[in-house]
Structure 1
Amino acid sequence: MSDATRLPRIAIAGLGIESSTFSPARTEAPAFHPMRGGEILDRYAAFLGEGTELRGAAEWHPALVGKSLPGGAATAEAFQTLSDEIIERLAAMPELDGLWYDIHGAMTVEGLDDAEAVLLARIRETVGPDVLISTTMDLHGNVSRELAHLSDLITCYRMAPHEDHLETKERGVRNLVERLASGKGRPLKAWVPIPVLLPGEKTSTRIEPAKGVYAQVHDAAAQPGVLDAAIWVGYAWADEPRNRAVTVVTGDDEAAVTAQAERLARAFWQAGPDFDFVAPVGTLDETVAAALASAKHPFFISDSGDNPTAGGAGDVTWTLARLLENREITDAGRTVIYASIPGPAAVETAVAAGVGATVTVTAGAAVDDVHEGPVTFTGVVHSIRHGDRDAEIEVVIRVGGLHVIVTKLRKPYHHEHDFTDLDLAPRAADIVFVKIGYLEPELYEMAADWMMALTPGGVDQDLVRLGHHRIRRPMLPFDAPDFEPDLHARLIPASNLPLTGADE
């Protein structure tokens, strides 16, 4: 087959994690569960599986994709090891036409401020200046000017919670395939940094103003001369100069991409004072009191400060220690679930004792002991489960009516089966505590009512209390909203041209 008639060759690579710089945890290479070759196509089977349109539209060359549960910063060694393997695999491939760079966008690496751009620069150097690169991201990622420059096409989710994550990835791949087929080459990109840094719990697209702001993204992307449009909220729990909201609009018409990027940036900035929490919030005591007084069950409470899917260590015991001391919570006549606390030794003790045995165990605070030390409690082993991808082993220890889920390794609890697999019935519970911020879709559907407890941890919702000192200022909510931001679009040249000017 001649070069004129062959299918385009497209590689796939990327590393993804949300990393809190305020968590003492560190993330090693195995946590990324790196996939290679056909495993990668299986991961994206919804649109790259055998028989799909996109699968047949190109010759696919999967390199390595690694995705980790959010946590602390990745170690320099982990990043180097995984990056080196990506580069080695790409270097061994035939000449490429395109590359899909699938990342999260909030990866912090020890000693680096813009890890995704650092890796992409190495990729660009390896595959050459003429390969078109499409980058897909989480809207809670960060887009430095360098990352936007190194990407030819770039997009992110338009929903939080991220119910459109597969749709977004497919869009990024389709944009790449269609761009290669068109022969048009590199599009223009208009990039606008917005001096706002907010947690996802204040920018959920379930409610206004984010709902209305993000609705404008679809309209912007549909304008003549525009290929794609996106708003990144940014990642609130890392202290790096790149962390802030950003808009990027991609297309072939300079006036159109400029106008739409500025339009979206103004909409986000103007909505700034109205962004608020997606649920009623309160102190732990206030949320517990509301749940105990409520006739609506199950009543969900988010233990938000140690949310492992936002970058928390997952082993902060501050909330659990107080629940164990609260006799209304441990009352045997009430059913309360707490998800969860890591405790390898506690799990080992429970497994050895077996279901029905009474055990005394100690768990938590092995990583993040800033707010509270390990907790020791006595209870009955309710259930044991082996083989979970994240936790490996899970046990439930019942203290009166309080069912504490203890894991060998940390795990998020987002699905009903996460509970029912442990012989727990969350729909029948009085109160369910989950280490999370806004409730993921299945939990949201289950909850008769819910509140978010403003608890301490590596992803504390009180950003000012955390103490950022390296972000660009002025920035909301760290400074008074009495300044006028520069929201004009910066046009970014094609990625095979040098980038000039500051990342501002």
Structure 2
Amino acid sequence: MAYHPVIAIAGLACETSTFTPSRTFAPAFHPRRGGEIIEKYPFIQPGTPLGDAAEWLGALIGHALPGGIVTRDAFESLSSEIISRLSQIVESTKLDGLWFDIHGAMCVEGIDDAEYELLKRCREVIGPKVLVSASMDLHGNVSRDLVHQTDLITCYRTAPHVDVAETKERACRNLLQLIQRQADGVELVRPYKAWVPIPILLPGEQTSTRDEPAAHIYAAVPDVEGTDGVLDAAIWVGYAWADEPRNRAVVVVTGWDKETVAQGAEKLAHLFWDSHKDFTFVAPTGSFKECLDAALASDKHPYFISDSGDNPTAGGSGDVTWGLTQLLARPEFKSESGPKVIYASVPGPEAIQKAVDAGVGAIVTVIAGAEVDDIHAGPITMTGRVHYIKYGDVHAEIEVVLQVGSVFAILTKLRKPYHHESDFTELDLAPRSADIVIVKIGYLEPGLYDMARDWMLGLTPGGVDQDLKRLGHKRIRRPMWPFDNTFEKLDLSARLIPMSNEPLSEKDE
């Protein structure tokens, strides 16, 4: 009979900008516990190959909408519960593995490298023998310490991310393979890990795998992974809107042949570096005015514009009013007969309540936005007709559409990303028949991309400003592209990281 291992699941995920004044609190993680975790992931449920091959025990996972720095209290309370639940699992059964379910770009008050800190605490409970497999976003950050404390570490291979479930399943499948090797008495249970940091820090809007050069760089990952002696290969772009020493691009290749994994890692690292001057934005860019001018002149509708500086799915606070203020100041949209524009979105709890009290069809004057991030613009005052009210959204809680002239502005009780056509149609809006759709986003998610007949990326201000140089990074390692142009001692050699049950030297990264 095949060995039936026990695998725990734990992790916290939040992509956080250090350049936005907002903070992320514990409730934002919407923590899942125990069986709730198994319900979230179909590929480990009973009746599936992975579900039947092991006993999966959920400790706690929390996935927060990207935002500002995680408060220390939030991190401590959630990590303490993870440790408590892992301790209960270890006390009740023999634990073979841990699936570390993270994003990789979580910044916590007073802690650098928060994912490593969390895993280090987990290791103190589960011990050095338990095998750990981490799954991450390719916009995460991978320090040498994090690689050391894991036995397997992998990430998405697409941006926009269409392989999320596939990546997480791969992390679990590879973990089971390691555990089975251990049960079979194979001498080399833990794979070799080759880690190469690359001095590049770029936003996702310049590194989408839909476009070159990222397309051919990521296309090489399966080839390296398919080499004899290699178990997994991964490339992290890194996260550009946090100011920490770990933030940069990284390659990690794992496998059973030391020389092969090192060669594979160096191949991918050189592919990345050789293209460092070729990365460009995924769409035509311009100031917000230039984007609006282009949209009005275009005969292609709907014309999408990214209000990218306050993108809530990149870590923006979501309540910057700069874009909506500029939009409503344009004379073209003052009349209801003007070009139809949808704008998503600005939070305003008091505005929401006033609109709800007045009801659909009422004319109201409301104030919204800039409760958290008032650096670039203050609260916006609008007078318009309440077009629609929706209750019960998982992120926004309540949404109100306010028609101001020919602009249909979406207001929310709490911030929300707008990625799907249904996000609009459920608000009695028809984005396909609109002239212009403006969304706080960076590159267009697949649903929006399919709807857009044309689009531009607005280089707007906010906590996830696409102009990295004006944000003011002070703690990243230098030199770093695109902040620097001279790299006299470029080192893209593979660092073989000791196995998790072996000590890590103090050699500088």
What TM-score do you get using the length of structure 1 for normalisation?
A: 0.98
Alignment of 1:303-322 (within 5 A): 303-322=307-326
Q: Is the Cα contact below 8 Å between 1:323 and 1:330 reproduced in 2?
A: no
Q: Is the Cα contact below 8 Å between 1:318 and 1:371 reproduced in 2?
A: yes
Which of residues 344, 352, 370 in structure 2 aligns to 1:339?
Answer: 344
Is 1:92 the counterpart of 2:88? The answer is: yes
Is 1:261 the counterpart of 2:265? The answer is: yes
CA distance, structure 2, for counterparts of residue 206 and residue 264 of structure 1: 18
Letter of the 2:493 counterpart: H
SS across alignment from 2:220: helix
Per-residue CA shift, 1:422-461, capped at 9, x if unaligned? Answer: 0000001000000000000000000000000000000000
Q: Is the Cα contact below 8 Å between 1:144 and 1:503 reproduced in 2?
A: no
Is 1:24 the counterpart of 2:28? The answer is: no
SS across alignment from 2:503: coil
Letter of the 1:77 counterpart: D
SS across alignment from 1:181: helix
Match of 2:56 in 1: 60
Per-residue CA shift, 1:333-369, capped at 9, x if unaligned? Answer: 2210000000000000000000000000000000000
Letter of the 2:18 counterpart: T
CA distance, structure 2, for counterparts of residue 399 and residue 5 of structure 1: 66
CA distance, structure 2, for counterparts of residue 275 and residue 373 of structure 1: 34
Report deviation, 1:484. 4.4
CA distance, structure 1, for counterparts of residue 487 and residue 237 of structure 2: 21
The gaps in structure 2 that reach 5 residues or longer are none
CA distance, structure 1, for counterparts of residue 462 and residue 247 of structure 2: 19
Alignment of 1:44-443 (within 5 A): 44-45=41-42, 47-93=43-89, 94-183=93-182, 184=186, 185-333=189-337, 334-443=339-448
What TM-score do you get using the length of structure 2 for normalisation?
A: 0.97
CA distance, structure 2, for counterparts of residue 501 and residue 345 of structure 1: 53
Letter of the 1:24 counterpart: P
Report deviation, 1:324. 0.9
Q: Is the Cα contact below 8 Å between 2:312 and 2:417 reproduced in 1?
A: yes
Report deviation, 1:497. 1.2
* C-alpha spacing 1:482/1:143, structure 2 compared with 1 (3 Å): closer
CA distance, structure 2, for counterparts of residue 498 and residue 65 of structure 1: 28
Letter of the 1:422 counterpart: L
Instruction: Give identity over the alignment, percent.
Output: 65
Is 1:9 the counterpart of 2:13? The answer is: no
Is 1:485 the counterpart of 2:490? The answer is: yes
* C-alpha spacing 1:182/1:50, structure 2 compared with 1 (3 Å): same
Which of residues 37, 44, 66 in structure 2 aligns to 1:40?
Answer: 37
Report deviation, 1:6. 4.5
* C-alpha spacing 1:246/1:503, structure 2 compared with 1 (3 Å): farther
Letter of the 2:22 counterpart: A
CA distance, structure 2, for counterparts of residue 191 and residue 140 of structure 1: 16
Q: Is the Cα contact below 8 Å between 1:228 and 1:249 reproduced in 2?
A: yes
Q: Is the Cα contact below 8 Å between 2:345 and 2:409 reproduced in 1?
A: yes
CA distance, structure 1, for counterparts of residue 391 and residue 83 of structure 2: 36
Per-residue CA shift, 1:10-52, capped at 9, x if unaligned? Answer: 000000000000000000000000000111011111x122311
**Runs of at least 4 residues off by over 3 Å:** 481-484
CA distance, structure 2, for counterparts of residue 105 and residue 330 of structure 1: 44
Letter of the 1:109 counterpart: V
Report deviation, 1:331. 3.6
Letter of the 2:460 counterpart: T
Report deviation, 1:180. 1.0
Question: Cα RMSD between the aligned structures?
Answer: 0.9
Report deviation, 1:481. 4.2
CA distance, structure 1, for counterparts of residue 207 and residue 507 of structure 2: 28
Per-residue CA shift, 1:96-129, capped at 9, x if unaligned? Answer: 0000001000000000110000000000110010
Q: Is the Cα contact below 8 Å between 2:479 and 2:487 reproduced in 1?
A: no
Letter of the 1:367 counterpart: V
Residue-pair matches, total: 500
Per-residue CA shift, 1:51-94, capped at 9, x if unaligned? Answer: 11100010111100000000000000000000000000000012
Report deviation, 1:496. 1.2
CA distance, structure 2, for counterparts of residue 482 and residue 126 of structure 1: 42
